[in-house]
Amino acid sequence: MGRVASAFSPVIRTERGSRTPLHKQIYDTFRALIVEGKVRPGEPVPSTRALAQELAISRIPVLNAYAQLLAEGYFESRAGSGTFVSLAVPEQMISVPARGRREGTARSGPRPVSQRSIMLPPHDPSRGFGPGAFSVGQPALDHFPLRVWSKLVARHTSNAGPAALRYSDPMGRPEFREAIANYLRTARAVDCDASQVMVVSGSQQALEISARVLLDPDSQVWIEEPGYWLLRHALILAGCRMVPVPVDAEGLDVAAGIRLCRRARAAFVIPSHQFPMGVTMSASRRLQLLEWAQSSGAWIIEDDYDSEYRYGSLPVASLQGLDRHARVIYIGTFSKTLFPSLRLGYVVIPPDLVERFKAVRFATDICPPYLHQAVMAEFISQGHLSRHIRKTRMLYRARRRALVDAIRSEFGDALEITGCEAGMHLVVLLPRGVPDREIAARAAQEKLWLWPLSTAYAGKAVRQGFILGFASTAEEEMLPAVRRLKALIGKGTPNHGVNDGTMRAEGPPRGRNRVKMTGL
């Protein structure tokens, strides 16, 4: 074990004029810290020389204090490593006043918090993010070109100069923004240049910044129903009034939105592959939405989170590319194409709004971090991103087919499937009365990640079901996972006959094994 170079010094107040000797003051402080649980067994303590320098006193009082603490068993010395809080201090000797203070403060007087934060639901571990079958939004991490990525990271880390350590442009590194703009013009038909691209920490930060720039408290905004639940969280924190607009087989129902709230300030939409239902907004709806935005002076925020993955046709062009009046703010992310912990996304901003976005970005977190921008710029320019997308598109097509085949095999026509023509997830619809949240909570305990469809509704849930990710689940794992799903649904719905194949989804009769790939 190597020697501990340094340890953080605790706050020790020494009074030279006190009747208590300096070594006793140091001893009393350390003993109290250990007994009160503020320093833990096994934690390193400063060397006697370092602590003497920190306190600006002779080393002798520190040596005497340490000797007493060692003798009483509060400290232990490890040859070649240093001095540590003893691992042998009995747990019953250590109180945890910090926890007691946290519990006691609730009774010490008012502790007001934001009403908006109270409106946010607690984190639900049953939402489909864990490692295992059907995890939503999880790409095939085992197929990520980690060796290439690691080499780029190593090169940019070793070659980084002082400029990499300073604050940078709130919009992001110029070469990375140029690479993003080139990619979007080619792959997504986005009308932009690098000056309009802002680098952000994933699409969630993009939504938050967009809300801060474009909306005021009590602004009315259209959201898709059902829709992306974390968008609702961002709008709650912005104090907006959400207007849920139904989604059908053509995407957001613009006419319904106009009836509900013609003068909404903005519309948040996912036109290329709507989440969760997976439908693609039709051309007529797109033009209708753009016309509404222009005539009413509203904004459109387009979230384009996984449109690179389409299996029956080429990727659908962006809504922003059709916009002739600079009403669309375009959001994208690399979390789905590469890996979620990358936390790297982008916003394409109308030119006249760039300074507003830049000001809000600077006020929230100043600028994006350096390293992954530099790595991603080279990853894109060298063609690694396009190759990875091509490979994973083929992989996800095969995994999607394996999941659909497994559902057909196990459920027949008992479950309706929707939204599987694109993206990294599909939806299975359950009959009314089947409790998707209860089943999902039980499934999470077995590492089976079922995202309840009912949580995607801002209002009353119209349908129950599950959002099933397929990108991170191998083909050979699909059938066993679907059988586990069948068992869970069967336990949760004893009167629906899932296990004997007699359960039926509501709606008109369909031939056996037919899969309906539509919206609601």
Give the span between the Cα atoms of 514 and 520, in whole angstroms: 16
489, two tokens: 């649904």
Residue found by looking up tokens 């097509």 in the block: 397
Instruction: Give every CB contact of residue 106 below 8 A, 6+ residues apart in sequence.
Output: none
Give the span between the Cα atoms of 15 and 492, in whole angstroms: 68
Domain boundaries of the chain, sorted by first residue: 1-109, 169-386
pTM: 0.81
What is the domain class of 1-109 according to CATH?
mainly alpha
Residue found by looking up tokens 């829709």 in the block: 227
Q: What is the DSSP letter of 387?
A: H
Assess contact for 466 and 450: CB atoms under 8 A: yes
**What is the architecture of the domain spanning 169-386?**
3-Layer(aba) Sandwich (3.40)
Instruction: Give every CB contact of residue 53 below 8 A, 6+ residues apart in sequence.
Output: none
Q: What is the DSSP letter of 194?
A: G
Give the span between the Cα atoms of 65 and 26, in whole angstroms: 6
Q: How would you list the strands of the sheet with 241-248, edge to edge?
A: 197-200, 345-348, 328-333, 299-303, 266-269, 220-225, 241-248, 251-252
Tens-digit pLDDT string for the chain (520 aa): 344 445 777 888 888 888 899 999 999 999 998 888 888 888 999 999 999 998 999 999 999 999 999 998 899 998 888 899 998 876 555 555 544 445 545 556 788 888 888 888 776 655 556 677 899 989 999 999 999 999 999 999 998 888 888 899 999 999 999 999 999 999 899 999 999 999 999 999 999 999 999 999 999 999 999 999 899 999 999 999 999 999 999 999 999 999 999 999 999 999 999 999 999 999 999 999 999 999 999 999 999 988 889 887 777 889 999 999 999 999 999 999 999 999 999 999 999 999 999 999 999 999 999 999 999 999 999 999 999 999 999 999 999 999 999 999 999 988 999 988 889 999 999 987 888 999 988 888 888 889 999 999 998 888 999 999 999 999 999 999 999 999 988 875 545 445 444 444 443 333 333 334 333 3
Residue found by looking up tokens 């240049």 in the block: 193
